[in-house]
Amino acid sequence: MGALLFSPSAQSQSEVDSALRLFLGPDSNTFAFDLDKARPQPSNHRFHEDSVRDLNKIQLQKLAAVKLILRLHQRETVYAVRAYEAPQAFVGTQFGAVLLISTVALRLLEAEELQALVAHEIGHEYVWREFQDAARRRDNRRLRELELFCDGVAILTLRRAGVDPVRLLTGVEKLTDFNVLRKKTPPYRNDHPSLGERKKFAEALMKWAENGSSSPSNER
Protein backbone atom coordinates (compact mmCIF):
# COMPACT_ATOMS: atom_id res chain seq x y z
CA MET A 1 0.00 0.00 0.00
CA GLY A 2 2.76 2.41 0.82
CA ALA A 3 4.32 1.85 -2.59
CA LEU A 4 1.10 2.86 -4.29
CA LEU A 5 0.70 5.97 -2.20
CA PHE A 6 4.24 7.17 -2.66
CA SER A 7 5.04 6.19 -6.20
CA PRO A 8 5.81 9.21 -8.43
CA SER A 9 2.53 8.82 -10.31
CA ALA A 10 0.57 8.66 -7.04
CA GLN A 11 2.19 11.84 -5.73
CA SER A 12 1.19 13.72 -8.89
CA GLN A 13 -2.43 12.62 -8.50
CA SER A 14 -5.11 14.08 -6.30
CA GLU A 15 -5.51 12.51 -2.89
CA VAL A 16 -8.84 11.03 -3.97
CA ASP A 17 -7.24 9.36 -7.00
CA SER A 18 -4.30 8.12 -4.93
CA ALA A 19 -6.66 6.53 -2.40
CA LEU A 20 -8.73 4.94 -5.17
CA ARG A 21 -5.61 3.23 -6.53
CA LEU A 22 -5.52 1.09 -3.39
CA PHE A 23 -8.71 -0.63 -4.52
CA LEU A 24 -7.85 -1.22 -8.18
CA GLY A 25 -6.14 -4.03 -10.02
CA PRO A 26 -2.85 -3.76 -11.93
CA ASP A 27 -4.49 -2.28 -15.03
CA SER A 28 -6.29 0.43 -13.03
CA ASN A 29 -9.56 -0.52 -14.73
CA THR A 30 -10.58 -3.46 -12.56
CA PHE A 31 -11.73 -3.56 -8.98
CA ALA A 32 -9.46 -5.95 -7.09
CA PHE A 33 -9.56 -5.20 -3.35
CA ASP A 34 -10.94 -8.04 -1.21
CA LEU A 35 -12.12 -7.27 2.31
CA ASP A 36 -11.58 -10.80 3.54
CA LYS A 37 -8.20 -11.54 1.96
CA ALA A 38 -6.76 -8.20 3.04
CA ARG A 39 -8.16 -8.28 6.58
CA PRO A 40 -5.39 -8.23 9.23
CA GLN A 41 -5.20 -10.54 12.19
CA PRO A 42 -7.13 -9.21 15.20
CA SER A 43 -5.40 -7.47 18.07
CA ASN A 44 -4.05 -9.55 20.93
CA HIS A 45 -5.74 -7.18 23.39
CA ARG A 46 -8.99 -8.44 24.86
CA PHE A 47 -11.61 -6.50 26.80
CA HIS A 48 -14.43 -8.99 26.98
CA GLU A 49 -17.05 -7.03 28.88
CA ASP A 50 -19.24 -4.52 27.08
CA SER A 51 -20.18 -1.37 28.99
CA VAL A 52 -23.60 -0.23 27.82
CA ARG A 53 -25.42 0.45 31.07
CA ASP A 54 -28.16 3.03 31.60
CA LEU A 55 -29.07 3.27 27.93
CA ASN A 56 -32.59 3.54 26.62
CA LYS A 57 -34.27 1.07 24.28
CA ILE A 58 -33.50 3.03 21.10
CA GLN A 59 -29.82 3.39 22.00
CA LEU A 60 -29.55 -0.33 22.71
CA GLN A 61 -31.14 -1.10 19.35
CA LYS A 62 -28.55 1.04 17.61
CA LEU A 63 -25.74 -0.78 19.39
CA ALA A 64 -27.30 -4.10 18.44
CA ALA A 65 -27.12 -3.03 14.78
CA VAL A 66 -23.37 -2.49 15.20
CA LYS A 67 -22.94 -6.19 15.95
CA LEU A 68 -23.67 -6.99 12.30
CA ILE A 69 -20.69 -4.91 11.20
CA LEU A 70 -18.43 -6.53 13.78
CA ARG A 71 -19.60 -9.96 12.70
CA LEU A 72 -18.95 -9.24 9.01
CA HIS A 73 -15.36 -8.41 9.96
CA GLN A 74 -14.99 -11.37 12.32
CA ARG A 75 -14.66 -8.93 15.21
CA GLU A 76 -17.81 -9.70 17.20
CA THR A 77 -15.82 -11.56 19.86
CA VAL A 78 -12.82 -9.22 19.57
CA TYR A 79 -14.25 -5.77 20.31
CA ALA A 80 -15.76 -4.75 23.60
CA VAL A 81 -18.43 -2.10 22.99
CA ARG A 82 -18.40 0.81 25.41
CA ALA A 83 -20.87 3.68 25.49
CA TYR A 84 -19.71 6.62 27.58
CA GLU A 85 -20.78 10.11 28.58
CA ALA A 86 -18.96 12.97 26.86
CA PRO A 87 -19.82 16.39 25.43
CA GLN A 88 -18.33 15.42 22.07
CA ALA A 89 -19.95 13.24 19.41
CA PHE A 90 -17.39 10.48 18.97
CA VAL A 91 -17.03 7.02 17.46
CA GLY A 92 -13.61 5.39 17.63
CA THR A 93 -11.52 2.41 18.66
CA GLN A 94 -8.68 1.69 21.07
CA PHE A 95 -6.08 -1.07 20.79
CA GLY A 96 -8.08 -2.70 17.97
CA ALA A 97 -10.20 -4.21 20.72
CA VAL A 98 -12.47 -1.52 22.22
CA LEU A 99 -15.21 0.29 20.34
CA LEU A 100 -15.97 3.64 21.98
CA ILE A 101 -19.23 5.46 21.25
CA SER A 102 -20.27 8.59 23.09
CA THR A 103 -23.89 8.86 24.14
CA VAL A 104 -24.10 12.07 22.10
CA ALA A 105 -23.20 10.08 18.98
CA LEU A 106 -25.74 7.45 19.92
CA ARG A 107 -28.40 10.11 20.10
CA LEU A 108 -27.46 11.90 16.88
CA LEU A 109 -26.86 8.95 14.57
CA GLU A 110 -29.39 6.63 13.06
CA ALA A 111 -28.55 2.93 13.30
CA GLU A 112 -27.22 2.68 9.73
CA GLU A 113 -25.07 5.79 10.18
CA LEU A 114 -23.57 4.28 13.32
CA GLN A 115 -22.90 1.06 11.41
CA ALA A 116 -21.12 3.09 8.73
CA LEU A 117 -18.87 4.93 11.16
CA VAL A 118 -17.98 1.72 12.96
CA ALA A 119 -17.07 0.14 9.61
CA HIS A 120 -14.80 3.12 8.92
CA GLU A 121 -13.08 2.65 12.27
CA ILE A 122 -12.50 -1.03 11.55
CA GLY A 123 -10.90 0.11 8.30
CA HIS A 124 -8.07 1.61 10.38
CA GLU A 125 -6.96 -1.92 11.24
CA TYR A 126 -6.00 -2.50 7.60
CA VAL A 127 -3.54 0.40 7.59
CA TRP A 128 -2.66 0.83 11.25
CA ARG A 129 1.11 0.86 10.76
CA GLU A 130 0.82 3.29 7.87
CA PHE A 131 -1.24 5.61 10.09
CA GLN A 132 1.33 5.47 12.85
CA ASP A 133 4.20 6.18 10.46
CA ALA A 134 2.38 9.08 8.78
CA ALA A 135 1.36 10.59 12.11
CA ARG A 136 4.93 10.39 13.38
CA ARG A 137 6.14 12.23 10.26
CA ARG A 138 3.19 14.64 10.42
CA ASP A 139 2.45 13.71 6.83
CA ASN A 140 -1.06 15.10 6.53
CA ARG A 141 -1.42 14.20 2.88
CA ARG A 142 -0.88 10.54 3.58
CA LEU A 143 -3.16 10.68 6.61
CA ARG A 144 -5.93 12.10 4.41
CA GLU A 145 -5.38 9.34 1.85
CA LEU A 146 -5.56 6.70 4.55
CA GLU A 147 -8.76 8.20 5.95
CA LEU A 148 -10.25 7.87 2.47
CA PHE A 149 -9.06 4.27 2.35
CA CYS A 150 -10.96 3.62 5.59
CA ASP A 151 -14.02 5.17 3.97
CA GLY A 152 -13.53 2.62 1.21
CA VAL A 153 -13.51 -0.26 3.67
CA ALA A 154 -16.69 1.15 5.19
CA ILE A 155 -18.38 1.45 1.80
CA LEU A 156 -17.61 -2.15 0.86
CA THR A 157 -18.73 -3.32 4.30
CA LEU A 158 -22.02 -1.46 4.01
CA ARG A 159 -22.68 -2.93 0.58
CA ARG A 160 -22.17 -6.36 2.04
CA ALA A 161 -24.54 -5.55 4.89
CA GLY A 162 -27.21 -4.25 2.52
CA VAL A 163 -26.86 -0.66 3.79
CA ASP A 164 -26.71 2.39 1.53
CA PRO A 165 -23.08 3.65 1.62
CA VAL A 166 -24.40 7.22 1.60
CA ARG A 167 -25.09 6.67 5.29
CA LEU A 168 -21.36 7.04 5.91
CA LEU A 169 -21.40 10.58 4.56
CA THR A 170 -24.54 11.63 6.42
CA GLY A 171 -23.10 10.21 9.65
CA VAL A 172 -19.79 12.03 9.22
CA GLU A 173 -21.60 15.28 8.47
CA LYS A 174 -23.80 14.98 11.57
CA LEU A 175 -20.88 14.42 13.93
CA THR A 176 -18.76 17.13 12.32
CA ASP A 177 -21.54 19.71 12.43
CA PHE A 178 -22.33 18.93 16.05
CA ASN A 179 -18.73 19.08 17.22
CA VAL A 180 -18.02 22.31 15.35
CA LEU A 181 -21.15 23.89 16.79
CA ARG A 182 -20.11 22.86 20.28
CA LYS A 183 -16.55 24.08 19.56
CA LYS A 184 -15.14 20.71 20.48
CA THR A 185 -13.25 20.41 17.19
CA PRO A 186 -12.02 22.95 14.62
CA PRO A 187 -14.12 23.32 11.45
CA TYR A 188 -11.26 21.91 9.35
CA ARG A 189 -8.53 19.42 10.18
CA ASN A 190 -5.44 19.16 8.02
CA ASP A 191 -5.17 15.42 8.62
CA HIS A 192 -8.72 14.64 7.42
CA PRO A 193 -10.24 14.99 3.94
CA SER A 194 -13.05 17.45 3.41
CA LEU A 195 -16.62 16.23 3.10
CA GLY A 196 -16.49 17.15 -0.59
CA GLU A 197 -13.44 14.93 -1.13
CA ARG A 198 -15.12 12.09 0.77
CA LYS A 199 -18.20 12.41 -1.43
CA LYS A 200 -16.12 12.37 -4.60
CA PHE A 201 -14.18 9.33 -3.40
CA ALA A 202 -17.34 7.48 -2.32
CA GLU A 203 -19.07 8.07 -5.64
CA ALA A 204 -16.09 6.80 -7.62
CA LEU A 205 -15.53 3.76 -5.43
CA MET A 206 -19.19 2.75 -5.49
CA LYS A 207 -19.19 2.98 -9.29
CA TRP A 208 -16.13 0.72 -9.53
CA ALA A 209 -17.50 -1.70 -6.95
CA GLU A 210 -20.79 -2.04 -8.80
CA ASN A 211 -18.99 -2.93 -12.01
CA GLY A 212 -16.15 -4.97 -10.53
CA SER A 213 -15.49 -8.12 -8.57
CA SER A 214 -16.90 -6.81 -5.29
CA SER A 215 -20.57 -6.80 -6.22
CA PRO A 216 -22.95 -7.61 -3.33
CA SER A 217 -23.55 -11.12 -4.69
CA ASN A 218 -19.85 -11.91 -4.60
CA GLU A 219 -19.25 -10.36 -1.20
CA ARG A 220 -21.60 -12.51 0.85
For residue range 157-200, what is the model confidence (pLDDT) as tens digits? 999 999 999 999 999 999 999 998 887 666 667 899 999 999 99
Question: Range of 98's domain?
Answer: 13-219
pLDDT digits (tens, 9 = 90+) for 201-217: 999 999 888 876 443 33
Is pTM, for the whole model, over 0.85?
yes
Specify if 1 maps to a domain. Answer: no
Tell me the sheet residues that pair with 83: 101
pLDDT digits (tens, 9 = 90+) for 22-59: 888 666 666 778 999 999 999 887 776 678 778 999 99
Tell me the sheet residues that pair with 42: none
Specify if 3 maps to a domain. Answer: no
* Widest distance between CA atoms in the chain: 53
Residues above pLDDT 70, as percent of the chain: 84
Q: What is the model's pLDDT at position 54?
A: 83
The count of other CB atoms within 10 Å of the CB of residue 122 is 25
Given a cut of 70, whether residue 218 has pLDDT beyond it is: no
Residues above pLDDT 90, as percent of the chain: 65
Please answer whether residues 85 and 102 qualify as being in contact, where contact means their C-beta atoms are separated by less than 8 angstroms.
Answer: yes
Lowest mean pLDDT among 8-12, 19-23, 24-28, 97-101: 8-12
| First and final C-alpha spacing in the chain | 25
Specify if 8 maps to a domain. Answer: no
Q: What is the model's pLDDT at position 2?
A: 35
- If one counts the domains in the chain, the total is 1
Specify if 98 maps to a domain. Answer: yes
- Percentages (nearest 5) of helix, strand, coil residues in the chain: 60, 10, 35
Mean pLDDT value across the chain? 86
Specify if 89 maps to a domain. Answer: yes
